[in-house]
Amino acid sequence: MVVATKAIKEGPRINKAFRPLYTSNKRYFILTGGRGSLKSSSIHDFVTRLTYEKGHGILFTRWTMVSAETSIIPEFRETLVRLGVESDFLITNRKITNKKSGSFILFSGIKAGSSDNTARLKSIPGITTWIVEETEDFVDEKLFDIIDDSVRTTNHKNRVILVLNPTTKEHWIYKRFIEEHQAIRKVKGFDVIVSNHPQVEHIHTTYHIAEALGYLDSDWILKAKTWLNKAIETAKQLPQEARRGFLHSCYYYSNYIGGWIMYLQGAVYKNWTIGEFDESLPYGYGLDYGYYPDPLACVRIAVDWKRGIIYVDEIIYETEIDDVAARLEAEGISRGDFIVCDTNEPRTTANINMKFTNVMPAKKKKGSVVQGIRNIKKMDLVVTQRSKNVLIELAHYIWMDNKDSVPSGDYNHAMDAMRYIFTRMHLNRLHG
């Protein structure tokens, strides 16, 4: 094996799905999968074992990591305990060092507030392995190249490992490593696109491995299967030719199978890309109330009227929120920020009005939904990479007729919230 594993005699065996981490000589590794697919825990196991070889420097990053000491370090400490090797390691607030070999794991965020850590990260000596966890949040391909070029030691195998829950095919990871080098892998009746790029080892897993090992509780599994059944029932109502496309873009496929998605035929919005939010512009919040099991959705938008761009950032997408006003405060929404609320829950709106001073109801009248959609379609949408549920809805929000007059009643929570706030901003601009 490329990586020695005999140093750790106890602990779990290496799952065969992740064995290529230890055996492959390729430079790039892509680990994809949905929720509960053991990607992170398997990577933690791998780098722990790797540190028993002398001379390794492992840079472990996320796009944002405010404090490694309170986020990723505790996760790694659990791994060391699980493997029975905690006493072999020296742990500080941003570094873990193997006392037997001297090899280390250094933790860092790529972003540091409004700037980035690229200059510092590319100059760290002795890095043999760079791990990017939650790579779906890594939005800048140029920054990736800068750090990638610095992983070039000659005394050890160099690795760049990308760990992610796939989002849309617009992501640069897909375009760079998969789009022109793809193979289809069958996973529980679904087709999953993986990379067969000559420099890439692609490992794709799903929650079914953890389920077979007894790592998931029954309620979690029931929730996943409920989403699967919902997708199957919805597909049955669609024309035969549209069923496969829907099933390979539905929430179950993206969230649990972990496949790459693209908007469906008949998608309401095709005018969107992924990018950074323009913080220099005035912004406001749209809020759509959810009735369980539907989520409450809150999005922030800013509009560049001259360039015809709407910037969209997902703030909340959750079910079972007891105190909506308190949840908005927890997200840093200020008392005087502009908020446009759904009108379906007057009591909730009244509570919000007690804590916020610039709240307006959504504009609802006959034809307002379609008119609001048409106004948004005149613009370009730039959606932040972290807005995962907004991206999923954009891929699934479709017209239910051939005249583009009846939008879907599904995948519309963030879409409605976006329309509420944009419509009010549009009216304010027209009428002052």
Q: What is the domain-level CATH number for residue 135?
A: 3.40.50.300
Give, to the nearest 10 degrees, the angle between helix 388-396 and helix 413-431: 90
Compute the distance between CA of residue 140 and CA of residue 110 in angstroms, rounded to an integer. 10
pLDDT confidence of residue 280: 96
Provide the 10 A C-beta neighbour count for residue 304.
15
For residue 243, give the H/E element and its range: helix 240-247
The boundaries of the domain holding residue 84 are: 16-210
Structural domain includes residue 148 = yes
pTM: 0.70
Beta strands 272-274 and 380-383, pairing class: parallel
Would you call 88 helix, strand, or coil by DSSP? Answer: helix
Provide the 10 A C-beta neighbour count for residue 32.
29
pLDDT confidence of residue 403: 76
- Give yes or no: residues 320 and 376 share one domain: yes
Phi and psi angles of residue 93, each rounded to the nearest 5 degrees, phi first:
-75, -15
pLDDT confidence of residue 118: 66
Query: Total structural domains in the chain?
Result: 3
Structural domain includes residue 24 = yes
- Give yes or no: residues 160 and 182 share one domain: yes
- Give yes or no: residues 141 and 193 share one domain: yes
By the 8 A CB rule, do 422 and 376 touch?
Answer: yes
Structural domain includes residue 3 = no
Output the tens digit of pLDDT for each of the chain's 432 residues.
555 555 555 556 788 999 999 999 999 999 999 999 999 999 999 999 999 999 999 999 998 877 666 778 888 999 999 999 999 999 998 899 999 999 999 998 887 655 566 667 777 888 999 999 999 988 889 999 999 999 999 889 999 999 999 988 888 999 999 999 999 999 999 999 999 999 999 999 999 999 999 999 999 999 999 999 988 987 887 667 768 888 888 889 989 999 998 666 678 998 887 788 999 999 999 999 987 778 999 999 999 999 999 999 999 999 889 899 999 999 999 999 999 999 988 899 999 999 999 999 998 888 899 999 999 999 999 998 788 889 888 888 888 877 778 888 888 999 999 999 999 999 988 775
Half-sphere exposure of 168 (CA within 13 A, CB side): 24
- Give yes or no: residues 236 and 121 share one domain: no
Burial of 192 (0-12, 13-18, 19+ CB in 10 A): buried
- Give yes or no: residues 189 and 294 share one domain: no
Structural domain includes residue 279 = yes
Position 349, amino acid: T
pLDDT confidence of residue 214: 94
Structural domain includes residue 374 = yes
Structural domain includes residue 396 = yes
- Give yes or no: residues 124 and 38 share one domain: yes
